[in-house]
Amino acid sequence: MILFPPCKINIGLHVLHKRNDGYHALDTLMYPVSICDILEVIQSDVFEFTNSGLNIPGNAQMNICIKAFQLMEKEYGISPVKIHLHKVIPMGGGLGGGSSDGTYTLLAINTLFDLQLSDERLQELASKLGSDCPFFVTSLPQIANGRGELLTKVDFSLKGMFIYLVNLGIHVSTAQAFSKVQLYQHQTQILELVKAPFIEIKDTLVNSFEFSVFDSYPQLQEIKKIFIDNGAVYSAMSGSGSTIYGIFNSRPEKGLFSSYELVFEEILELS
């Protein structure tokens, strides 16, 4: 079967404090965006993983799709599969592409082997792969708390608006981003903030990682400023970086960043 793992953006990402277990407590709204990888999973006599599209750095045998298969094999004794992943979503860009790939491998296996697992069980399994993974079980707008795994569905829609995403190919280490993060100082939760228009909350609904990441990579702050100067109602960095996005009421013109060497640039209508 063939599935299309989407990506996500963080609309506000408030890092609240460091927990006793070493993780940080988060408050963020995760919103699905229909830029997708392509994932094929079929039953086989032997396990095989292959990939194409964007180059995936590191050891291919450590890919999250393989970890997802191994998890399901351990839990349910499934037989081998062949997995092919075609990468479209840039890596290390804060868009959750890897998390989506891993979770969609779980979804494919659930269907292929007729396991009939509930969304709740799939989210429990996905949380073992990574903090962002449970979101992609349903890929609906959700508030994420805890270390990112505690999800609450929210009535929030950007349908009919447009998103412009830009990635310069800068890889921001998640560990480094957390080590220098500026903790969120306000008390209002994102669930309350997003009930107001962007114009009222754009200075309070922030990404805590921007302060340190922009200090190291000022060109990312320049990208955000260009978005705002050209009519974006809201602009932010997604995740711990380094994709910057702008949200517009009408379709913006492509080419705002012709002076930059981009590895990824996409404009699409949100659903």
The CATH number of residue 199's host domain is 3.30.70.890
pTM of the full structure: 0.94
Give the pLDDT score at 69. 98
Say if residue 145 is in the same domain as residue 229: no
pLDDT of residue 119: 97
Last residue of a domain, one of 132, 153, 174: 153
- The pLDDT value recorded for residue 114 is 98
Number of domains in the chain: 2
The closest alpha carbon to 235, from 200, 257, 204, 202, belongs to: 202
- Domain carrying residue 220: 162-269
Q: State the catalytic residues.
A: 8, 132
pLDDT for residue 199: 85
The CATH number for 49's domain is 3.30.230.10
Pair 80, 214 in one domain: no
Q: Which of 108, 131, 153 is the last residue of a domain?
A: 153
Check whether residue 18 and residue 142 sit in a common domain: yes
pLDDT for the residue numbered 96: 95
| Same domain flag for 13 and 108 | yes
Low-confidence residues of the chain: pLDDT under 50: none
Claim to verify: residue 134 and residue 196 sit in the same structural domain: no
133 touches 151 (CB < 8 A): no
219 and 113 co-located in one domain:
no
Verify that 147 and 26 share a domain, yes or no: yes
pLDDT at residue 236 in the model: 97
Question: Do 139 and 187 have their domain in common?
Answer: no
Residues 238 and 119 in one domain: no
The pLDDT assigned to 58 comes to 77
Q: Which of 131, 153, 175 is the last residue of a domain?
A: 153
Give the pLDDT confidence score for residue 163 in this predicted structure. Answer: 98
Q: 141 and 12: one domain?
A: yes
**Residue 118 shares a structural domain with residue 167:** no
The verdict on 123 and 72 lying in the same domain is: yes
